[in-house]
């Protein structure tokens, strides 16, 4: 059985994961407006991943005998000055989510919820990958600067990303 404190911490994180999905959906629309279909693809995959992250936690709370109550999802930003600015926001957001996963793990540690700790180990590892992936694209965009051809080459590269449903937990 999940404790009330642990359940509440998970519910708050589920909301943050759903916000992440919503933010990346907004970024997908931004890139679609710019006709950068590779970036659109990258964001589409990100939307699916964030949804899977939220649903993994959602299902976990239910499996532990908890009750799901959903809250309002904050409206995301919907415009950026450039792809570079958008990916600065991606990296910053992923760093924020990492801090929140770590805080959730701290609650599991504080409440001595070993099952939650084991479950959250996957998310801790996943955030390392999320930050690295976004950071790589940001580094490329910083190198590209105003080189339109290089931007289109990166866009083409990003079109090859495919969604592999995660096995969470």
Residue 69 clears pLDDT 90, i.e. is over it: yes
Q: Specify if 63 maps to a domain.
A: yes
Confidence band of 157 (pLDDT split at 50, 70, 90): very high
Q: Specify if 165 maps to a domain.
A: no
Q: Specify if 112 maps to a domain.
A: yes
Range of the domain at 116: 4-71+79-158
Contact predicate 82/25, CB 8 Å: no
Contact predicate 134/94, CB 8 Å: yes
pLDDT of residue 23: 98
Confidence band of 169 (pLDDT split at 50, 70, 90): confident
Q: Specify if 11 maps to a domain.
A: yes
pLDDT of residue 67: 98
Contact predicate 100/16, CB 8 Å: yes
Q: Give the residue-averaged pLDDT of 135-146.
A: 98
Q: Is 149 exposed, middle or buried (0-12, 13-18, 19+ CB in 10 A)?
A: exposed
Output DSSP code: residue 82: S
Residues near 133 by Cβ (< 8 Å), separated by ≥ 6? Answer: none
pLDDT of residue 40: 98
Q: Specify if 66 maps to a domain.
A: yes
The CATH number that applies at residue 149 is: 1.20.1260.10
Domain count, the chain: 1
**Tens digits of residue pLDDT in 73-90:** 999 999 999 999 999 999
Q: Specify if 132 maps to a domain.
A: yes
Q: Specify if 144 maps to a domain.
A: yes
pTM for this prediction:
0.96
**Tens digits of residue pLDDT in 38-66:** 999 999 999 999 999 999 999 999 999 99
What is the CA angle 62-109-9, rounded to 5? Answer: 45
Q: Specify if 168 maps to a domain.
A: no
First to last CA, the chain: 17
From the list 16, 19, 37, the residue with the least C-alpha distance to 28 is 37
From the list 133, 155, 134, the residue with the least C-alpha distance to 144 is 155
Assign 109 to helix, strand or coil.
Answer: helix
Residue in the block written with tokens 């289109």: 152
**Tens digits of residue pLDDT in 79-132:** 999 999 999 999 999 999 999 999 999 999 999 999 999 999 999 999 999 999
């Amino acid at each position: 059985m999940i404790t009330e404190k642990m359940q509440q911490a998970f519910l708050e994180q589920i909301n943050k994961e759903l916000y992440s999905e919503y933010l990346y959906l907004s970024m997908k629309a931004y890139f679609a407006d710019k006709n950068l279909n590779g970036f659109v693809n990258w964001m589409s995959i990100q939307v699916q991943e964030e949804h899977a992250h939220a649903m993994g936690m959602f299902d976990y709370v239910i499996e532990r005998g908890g009750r799901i109550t959903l809250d309002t999802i904050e409206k995301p930003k919907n415009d950026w000055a450039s792809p570079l600015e958008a990916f600065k926001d991606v990296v910053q957001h992923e760093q924020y989510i990492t801090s929140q996963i770590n805080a959730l793990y701290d609650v599991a540690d504080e409440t001595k919820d070993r099952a939650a700790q084991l479950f959250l180990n996957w998310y801790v590892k996943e955030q390392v990958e999320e930050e690295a992936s976004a950071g790589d694209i940001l580094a490329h965009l910083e190198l590209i600067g105003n080189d339109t051809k290089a931007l289109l080459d990166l866009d083409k590269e990003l079109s090859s990303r495919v969604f592999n449903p995660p096995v969470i937990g």
